[in-house]
Amino acid sequence: MVAKSNGKIQLPPRPFKNPNPSIQFRVEQMFGGLCSCPCFGERSSDADGSDVDPVLLISGMGGSILHSKKKKFGFETRVWVRILLADLEFKKKVWSVYNPTTGYTETLDDDTEILVPDDDYGLYAIDILDPSLVMKLLHFTEVYHFHAMIDMLVKCGYKKGTTLFGYGYDFRQSNRIDKLMEGLKTKLKAAHQASGGRKVNIISHSMGGLLVLCFMSLHNEVFSKYVNKWICIACPFQGAPGCINDSLLTGLQFVEGFESFFFVSRWTMHQLLVECPSIYEMLANPEFNWKKQPEIQVWRKHSTDEETSVDLESYGPIESITLFEEALRDNELNYDGKMVALPFNFEILKWAAGTRQVIYDAKLPDGFCFYNIYGTSFDTPFDVCYGSETSPIEDLSEICHSMPQYSYVDGDGTVPAESAKADGFDAVERVAVAASHRGVLQDKTVFKYVQKWLGVDQKVRKHSKSSRVVDAST
């Protein structure tokens, strides 16, 4: 959130053997194409959704509601996403540090734990990320995550708790950490049982694809037993260089414009992300054969007794580690009156290298149907530059308090298309859609592909109901 085209075993196509030849697969006719392939699913006319394979939706970075809970009293408060008092609550209850002994990122408040609500069969946490009445009345679409896709699937006949489920998770953690892996295993088993023993179709977004890769690598037998198809959307298979490099140096702004004043600030988010294994796991893969290696550039001022010079320094994926170390060496935060040092974390970097190996080892089961949708047509950060020739950086720690200048490539605005399409698998289909990183979850063309691959139609009903989301937090 896999350098399969650069060293990963490339799986050859494997013929799918239908265990019951009498079953006739009806394939969605789309874009004039007619074919007969089990990977395109079996269309069902059953209106109650009991005759479709279950679908599990998996979110990515920042795509799950997080609750804060006092360990003693059991009182839960939504801390992500929230608009009102967002920055204050985030600092108090979400700021964390990495524990190298356990591998988990833990909140600075020892009396608090972070939970992901499992209401509505896991769908609540990934639907509308701030389900407060104010956000609904304003229809603030920035927080509408899987909402449109859930609505679409319900209209196609899927039923929550029987054939439609969601998996939100603590996205601060590593994509291969035990708690996340066990949570996914439990969710797959639940969907399998609730649907009468059917295999599950996974639809993942963004970093959720890396989570699935880790699960497939570490629990291949379980994956083969419970998963039928995987539709992967906007996954940073080889990393998201521009966005992730800058996230570690200056932070991340999820909402732009006027609304950002009510949201978690860029710097507040930075102080969390520098301690998140998931972020380190999305750094550019240095072993991938990029068309052009992603770089961090710094206009640097060098002074001696006699003269001053300004040079443009460049750092590739490997050299950037030295830059991170120097730039973050004095990074710290004030928590409850105490200063907490937050330098570049080499323990997390080491863990992330292990995750990259886990992802490298991931293999699709025989006869498995994999699909990849990636976004294009949006300027996507690739190289990032700090300072300028007229206003250079003298001490690298100044980078953390500067604003970046990007050079762009084609992609979804977050993940370069070059990375998102480099899954290295033998995909049934790999398609580009002109959509942004979050907008892809509301895109009608994406929905047509999803319906095609699942083998379903959107049904027009007189009394069809859209997905209802109720704020379950206080």
Name the catalytic one among 53, 170, 383, 412.
Answer: 412
Contact 105, 99 (CB under 8 A): yes
Q: Residue 334 falls within a domain, yes or no?
A: no
Q: Residue 372 falls within a domain, yes or no?
A: yes
pLDDT in the model for residue 458: 74
Q: Residue 184 falls within a domain, yes or no?
A: yes
Tokens 């229809």 — which residue?
A: 139
CATH number, domain of 281, equals: 3.40.50.1820
Q: Any catalytic annotation for residue 311?
A: no
Nearest CA to 11 out of 430, 424, 429 is that of 424
Q: Could you tell me if residue 32 is left (phi over 0), alpha (psi between -120 and 50 degrees) or otherwise beta?
A: left
Measured in degrees and rounded to the nearest 5, phi and psi for residue 82 equal -145, 150
- Report the C-alpha gap between 315 and 405 in whole angstroms: 15
pLDDT in the model for residue 466: 42
Q: Residue 19 falls within a domain, yes or no?
A: no
The alpha carbon of residue 109 and the mean position of all alpha carbons in its chain are separated, in whole angstroms, by 26
- Report the C-alpha gap between 94 and 85 in whole angstroms: 13
CB atoms within 10 A of CB 76: 16
Q: Any catalytic annotation for residue 379?
A: no
Identity at 458, one-letter amino acid code: Q
Nearest CA to 202 out of 193, 236, 213 is that of 213
- Report the C-alpha gap between 53 and 466 in whole angstroms: 20
Q: Any catalytic annotation for residue 303?
A: no
Q: Residue 252 falls within a domain, yes or no?
A: no
- Report the C-alpha gap between 260 and 253 in whole angstroms: 8
Q: Does residue 227 have a cis peptide bond before it, meaning omega lies within 30 degrees of 0?
A: no
Model pLDDT for residues 305-317, shown as the tens digit of each residue? 778 999 999 999 9
Name the catalytic one among 437, 443, 467, 473.
Answer: 437
> Helix, strand or coil for residue 313?
strand
What does each of the 474 residues of the chain score in pLDDT, given as a tens digit?
Answer: 434 333 333 333 333 333 343 333 333 333 333 333 456 554 443 445 568 999 999 999 999 999 999 988 878 999 999 888 899 999 999 999 999 999 999 999 999 999 999 999 999 999 999 998 888 787 788 899 999 999 999 999 999 999 999 999 999 999 999 999 999 999 999 999 999 999 999 999 999 999 999 999 999 999 999 999 999 999 999 999 999 999 999 998 766 655 555 579 999 999 999 999 999 999 999 999 999 999 999 999 998 877 899 999 999 999 999 999 999 999 999 999 999 999 999 999 999 999 999 999 999 999 999 999 999 999 999 999 999 999 999 999 999 999 999 999 999 999 999 999 999 999 999 999 999 999 999 999 999 999 999 999 876 544 444 444 444 443
- Give burial (CB, 10 Å; 0-12/13-18/19+) of 13: exposed
Q: Residue 294 falls within a domain, yes or no?
A: no
Domain count within the chain: 1
Boundaries of domain holding 237: 38-247+275-288+345-381+411-454
- Report the C-alpha gap between 354 and 110 in whole angstroms: 28
Whole-angstrom CA distances from 385 to 254, 295, 319, 407 are: 20, 8, 15, 8
Nearest CA to 41 out of 29, 56, 25, 57 is that of 25
Q: Which pair of structure tokens corresponds to residue 420? A: 């998102």
Q: Residue 396 falls within a domain, yes or no?
A: no
Q: Residue 66 falls within a domain, yes or no?
A: yes
pTM of the model: 0.87
Name the catalytic one among 68, 174, 195, 206.
Answer: 206
pLDDT in the model for residue 469: 46
Identity at 316, one-letter amino acid code: G
What lies within 8 Å, CB to CB, of 209 at 6+ separation is: 1, 60, 232, 233, 234, 235, 236, 237
